[in-house]
Structures are given as structure tokens and as C-alpha cells.
């Protein structure tokens, strides 16, 4: 019961990240899974699972009216059930992704309900009822907290034995297929992230990192060190060229602060 309560609190606080607590990154899977592992006594698995789930959802963003998967609920429940069942990352991925999609629907319902509180707050503001406005701001926060706390708490109350029964009831071919599909999802996460970061000036560095990993067999640490060295070289030599260009502009009496790529007229 205590573990279920603590894991539920972790999920509830995680959903408040970027809503009430600011952008603390506490709601990211790579952070939440570590705390889940701490509560359940297996920090190592929490770190491993959290890192894998972060690769999947690192490029997720709610744009416009789209509702992204609830990676807070999915990540916490997936990590917790994987640790409890002692089945590892495969089960975590198999559980976390569909749970995140389902939990997103619950999050949409909470947002619809919160619209009523928003209109009610407007009416209180018209009459200068500040206590009413504060209450209308507090209640939606509580609903968001409960939308993740309750599902996580109930999932934890099922216990390891029932979770194992459910997992064992799934045909092996389906479980293995979902595991393989889950292992491919990090590529989707990277693709979503690169879609936002990709530019004509930077693409060569992405391919350079890929080539070093594939053909030179360098690990992430080695590639990161090389990238830092390249960044320092570019800043040093690029800065000198920029200073020379500014001096030439001053001598010629022209001033142009624009750099290539800052403005796209297309």
C-alpha cells in the first residue's frame, strides 16, 4: 500500500511539471523512472528503463489542438510494473506506450472539464471575487494531479502476482513482437526531435556523428568529446572571421548585422 501511494504521488507530481511547478523536467521519464526505481528498491532498472522511455518520447510536443501521449502516466506505470514483475525493459515498453495513449484520453477529459472552471473564474473576476478566482485555479490543478495519481495507484494495488498473471496470459509471439516494436520506437523519438532541429547548416554534423558510431565504432562519450572539440574550433575560427567582416564593414562605412540563415524569405 505504501509503495502504491508513493508511486502514485510521483506520477501526480510529475504531471504538474510545466503546469504549476515550471519547466523543472521532473515529469520526464528519465527522471520519474529513477524515483520509481528508488521507491521499489531497484534504482538500476529505473535508470535503464527511464533512459529507454526518454528516447521514445524526447521529441513529443503538444502543438495546437493535438494531444500527445501522456508519457508521465505511461512511464511511471510501465517502469513500476516492469520492476515488480522482474521482466525488464521489454515489458516496460510493452506497457508504457499503450498506457500513455490511453491516459492521454483521460487528460483530454480533464482539460474539457477545466474549461468550466476557466469560465467560472472569469465571472468571479468581474465581481472582484479573488478567493473564487484562486479556487478556480486550484481545482484544475487537483484534477490534473488525480488524473495520474488514481490510475497509477490502482495499477500498483494489483500487485506483482496479478501483473505476472496478466503478462503470462499474453501469447509469447505477441509479447516478443511488441518488444521488438518497442525497441524501434526510440528511432521514432529521434526522428521527431530531428524534425524540429534539422537545418541545412547542421545536417552534416548529424551524419558525421552517425558515421563515427557506425564505422569507427565510437561510443556516445567519444562522439560527445569530439563534438565539443569541433564546437570550440568553430567558435574560435568562426569568431575571428566574423570580427574581420565587422572591421571591413566599418572601414567601408556599411553595416550589416545579418548572418546567413537568420532570415528565410521563402
* pLDDT digit string, tens, across residues 97-110: 777 777 777 777 88
User: Is 0.75 topped by the overall pTM?
Assistant: no
Q: List the domain boundaries for the chain.
A: 2-197, 203-252
Q: Which residue has the higher pLDDT, 262 or 167?
A: 167
CA dihedral 109, 70, 179, 221 (to 10 degrees): 170
Which residues lie closer than 8 Å to 8 by C-beta, 6 or more apart?
148, 149, 150, 152, 153, 156
Q: Band of the pLDDT at 252, cuts 50, 70, 90?
A: low
Q: What's the rounded Cα separation, in Å, for the pair 42 and 6?
A: 15
Q: Is residue 178 within 8 Å of residue 93, measured between CB atoms?
A: yes
Record the cell numbers describing residue 7, joined without a space. 508511486
Mean pLDDT confidence for 219-238: 85
pLDDT digits (tens, 9 = 90+) for 54-75: 877 776 665 555 567 778 888 8
pLDDT of 85 strictly over 80 = no
pLDDT digits (tens, 9 = 90+) for 42-58: 888 888 888 877 877 77
Amino acid at each position: 500500500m505504501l509503495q502504491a501511494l508513493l508511486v502514485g504521488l510521483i506520477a501526480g507530481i510529475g504531471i504538474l511539471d510545466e503546469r504549476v511547478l515550471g519547466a523543472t523536467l521532473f515529469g520526464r521519464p528519465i527522471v520519474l523512472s529513477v524515483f520509481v526505481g528508488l521507491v521499489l528498491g531497484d534504482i538500476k532498472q529505473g535508470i535503464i528503463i527511464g533512459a529507454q522511455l526518454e528516447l521514445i518520447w524526447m521529441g513529443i510536443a503538444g502543438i495546437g489542438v493535438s494531444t500527445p501521449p501522456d508519457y508521465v502516466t505511461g512511464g511511471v506505470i510501465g517502469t513500476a510494473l516492469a520492476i515488480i514483475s522482474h521482466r525488464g525493459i521489454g515489458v516496460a515498453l510493452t506497457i508504457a506506450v499503450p498506457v500513455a495513449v490511453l491516459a492521454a484520453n483521460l487528460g483530454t477529459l480533464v482539460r474539457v472539464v477545466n474549461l468550466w472552471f476557466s469560465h467560472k473564474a472569469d465571472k468571479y473576476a468581474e465581481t472582484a471575487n479573488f478567493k473564487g478566482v484562486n479556487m478556480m485555479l486550484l481545482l484544475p490543478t487537483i484534477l490534473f494531479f488525480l488524473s495520474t495519481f488514481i490510475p497509477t495507484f490502482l495499477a500498483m494495488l494489483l500487485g506483482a502476482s496479478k501483473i505476472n498473471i496478466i503478462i503470462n496470459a499474453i501469447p509469447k509471439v505477441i509479447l516478443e513482437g511488441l518488444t521488438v516494436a518497442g525497441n524501434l520506437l526510440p528511432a521514432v523519438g529521434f526522428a521527431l526531435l530531428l524534425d524540429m532541429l534539422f537545418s541545412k547548416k547542421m545536417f552534416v554534423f548529424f551524419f558525421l556523428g552517425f558515421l563515427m558510431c557506425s564505422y569507427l565504432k565510437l561510443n556516445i562519450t567519444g562522439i560527445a568529446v569530439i563534438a565539443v572539440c569541433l564546437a570550440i574550433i568553430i567558435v574560435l575560427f568562426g569568431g575571428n572571421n566574423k570580427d574581420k567582416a565587422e572591421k571591413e564593414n566599418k572601414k567601408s562605412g556599411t553595416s550589416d548585422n545579418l548572418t546567413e540563415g537568420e532570415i528565410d524569405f521563402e
